[in-house]
Amino acid sequence: MYEQDPQVWGIILAGGEGKRLQSFIHSQYGTEAPKQFCTFTGTRSMLRHTIDRAEMLIQPEQPLTVVGKDQLCYAGDQLADRPTGTVIVQPFNRETGPAILYSLLHVYRRDTEATVCLFPSDHFVLDEQKFMEHIQFSCESVSANPKSFILLGADPQQFGGGYGWIVVDEQIVDNDAKRVYSVSRFVEKPDAFTAYQLHHKGILWNTMIIIGKAKTLLALFKTYTPTLYEPFWGIRDDLGSSREAQIIEKIFSRSSPMNFSYSILASNPVGLRTVRLKVAYWNDWGDADRIRSDIQRFCTVTVTPAVPLPYVKISEATELEHREMKM
């Protein structure tokens, strides 16, 4: 369907603990598994949906999945078929910053000119083909403007807290339904009144799906979070060696938690752009109400319990999932 560019890589964030949803998942489905390892619809977990979606554009050896060491009991079966070197294990959860930086260095070590697509693994997407067309368009835009990086923005579907917001500025590129805008400011998870005002004005939701050159994204860490960047950069030559696990455990143990959105995006870095997602439905399944709402709206059948399941090939799942989804 797509021409896979060998310089396009993926980073799939699957190391979140999902504490906000623990009680919901436990009470409804009887498992302690974080949401990304659960199967809410169809026959695949949210993580496997994300991996399969990424591979529509990216070669199978080039999406890297970062998971927590203490999550391997849930992730092991789901990642058992992944190519060697594509599963990155973080020893501790230090939020999104260290997980992204650690994975970026793995990509950069293998391809210094790589374009990287960052995918959180807890997103619900309909019309994946249209969605990935926006990712492909973003990759092409970054290749033409390598000092820029793109944050995918979605039209808000309803008022709700817990989202980041992108206030767009001038339009830079117009290509049919795909438009690139400069960013006026970034608002990370504002209070309810501010979120209401932003929604009323049609400001975009931040999907936290980021596309940029690996070296450009690394430069952001160097500029905005140097105390985090320097120790990670210092061990880049040890990545892939027998010493990596021991060294990275020390680095993570000494690192403070750092949220990429708060620490970097909220500073509105030079080069930040946004592409508006207009023709595919997207939502961040960050709380129980969003999950219930989307399942009620789009899914006529759900598979229960929502427990980690072994990977089922796309061909085996497609017919069932097509029956479940209704636009």
Domains and CATH numbers, the chain: 8-324 (3.90.550.10)
Residues 105 and 233: beta-carbon distance below 8 Å: yes
Q: State the chain's mean pLDDT as an integer.
A: 87
**What is the pLDDT at residue 34?**
95
Position with higher pLDDT, 3 vs 130:
130
3-state DSSP assignment of residue 206? strand
In this prediction, residue 229 has a pLDDT band, given cuts at 50, 70 and 90, of very high
Confidence (pLDDT) at 122: 94
Q: Report the first-to-last Cα separation within the chain, whole angstroms.
A: 22
DSSP notation for 116-184: EEEEESSEEESSHHHHHHHHHHHHHHHHHSTT-EEEEEE--SS--SS-EEEEEEEEEEEETTEEEEEEE
Highest mean pLDDT among 180-184, 243-247, 305-309: 243-247
Q: How confident is the model at residue 175, as a pLDDT?
A: 65
Of 246 and 186, which is predicted with more confidence?
246
Sequence-separated (6 or more) residues with CB below 8 Å from residue 162 = 189, 284, 286, 287
- DSSP state string for 215-258: HHHHHHHHHH-HHHHHHHHHTGGGTTSTTHHHHHHHHHHHPPP-
Give the pLDDT of residue 327: 34
Per residue in 209-220, pLDDT (tens digit) is 999 999 999 999
pLDDT of residue 177: 62
The Cα 244–Cα 264 span in angstroms is 26
Residue 315 is predicted with a pLDDT of 33
Three-state DSSP class for residue 305? coil
3-state DSSP assignment of residue 200: helix
Mean pLDDT to the nearest integer, 2-26: 90
Amino acid at 214: A
Q: For residue range 139-175, what is the model confidence (pLDDT) as tens digits?
A: 999 999 999 999 999 988 766 667 889 998 878 766 6
> Given this model, what pLDDT does residue 192 score?
81
- Summarize the confidence of residues 279-299 as an average pLDDT: 89
pLDDT at residue number 304: 42
One-letter amino acid of 92: F
Q: Give me the amino acid identity at 194.
A: T
Rounded Cα distance, 299 and 280, in Å:
16
What is the average pLDDT across 119-127? 95
Higher-pLDDT residue of 309, 299: 299
Query: For residue 1, what pLDDT is reported?
Result: 53
Per-residue pLDDT at 323 = 36
Higher pLDDT, 42 or 50: 50
Predicted local distance difference test score (pLDDT) of residue 209: 97
**φ, ψ for residue 215 (rounded to 5)?**
-70, -30
Of these ranges, 42-51, 182-191, 305-314, the one predicted with the greatest mean pLDDT is 42-51
* Whether residue 112 has pLDDT greater than 70: yes
- pLDDT grade for 313, boundaries at 50, 70 and 90: very low
Cis-peptide into 34, omega within 30 deg: no
